[in-house]
Amino acid sequence: MEKEENLNQENNTKQSTEDNSNTEKLLKEDQTNINKEEMSAETTSEETEATPEEKIKELEDKLARTFAEMENQRRRFEKEKDDAFDYGGFTFAKEALNLIDNLERSKLILESDETLKETEALKKTLEHLEIINKDLISIFTKNNIRPIDCLNKKLDPNLHQAMMEIEDDEKEPGTIIQEVQKGFMIKERLLRPSLVGVSKKKDQKDEENKENKENLDK
């Protein structure tokens, strides 16, 4: 009986030893797999990580783009500052042109007044109005506001606005032969266009009717 118990105890001990051995083997295999995975991850990380030269090139590209953006912004601010300096009084200048317009209207009204025609008072008044007009033009010119010279020139839509057509065979069609309202420039920008009348050829039918009438009268 004691012999059987010893035998069973030996078997149990042997089995326990085998179990421990298997457990240790599994643990070793698991640790080996973990180590392999870690090594693989490190290798992949090393492969994907940029080299110092690539990092430097990337930083240089970012720096170049930043400098380009800063330069564009600086130029934009410079242009806005120049425009504000050159054309900041654009609205004021445009409103001030009403003074010249009112002077011209006053002259026309006085000249068309039958009671003042050929009088010394009218002559003196017109002379004073002309002096004031010249002074205003001089002040505008000193501030880079100048009138547009348009008479006897071809119509330019960028500078002139045609208000009427006037029959004139002596002028080439589209030539400005009347200035209704004077236009002005402020430096290189249009302050307001000249309102003008342009020439056109006389209608052919009107010419024929006129000739026929003259023939009948004869």
* Residues of the chain above pLDDT 90, percent: 7
- Tell me what the mean pLDDT of segment 61-65 comes to: 83
What distance separates the 2 farthest-apart alpha carbons in the chain? 171
- The full set of domains in the chain, from first to last, is 63-143 (3.90.20), 146-203 (2.30.22.10)
| pLDDT surpasses 50 at 7 | no
Query: Could you write out the DSSP letters of every residue in 126-180?
Result: HHHHHHHHHHHHHHHHHTTEEE---TTSB--TTTEEEEEEEE-SSS-TTBEEEEE
- Tell me what the mean pLDDT of segment 147-159 comes to: 89
The model's pLDDT over 10-26, given as tens digits with 9 standing for 90+, comes to 555 555 555 555 556 55
Most confident of 69-73, 130-134, 210-214: 130-134
Q: Please report where in the chains the tokens 């209608």 appear, as a residue.
A: 203
| pLDDT surpasses 50 at 2 | no
The model's pLDDT over 191-210, given as tens digits with 9 standing for 90+, comes to 899 999 999 887 655 555 55
Provide the pLDDT for residue 196: 92
Distance CA 49, CA 58 (A): 13
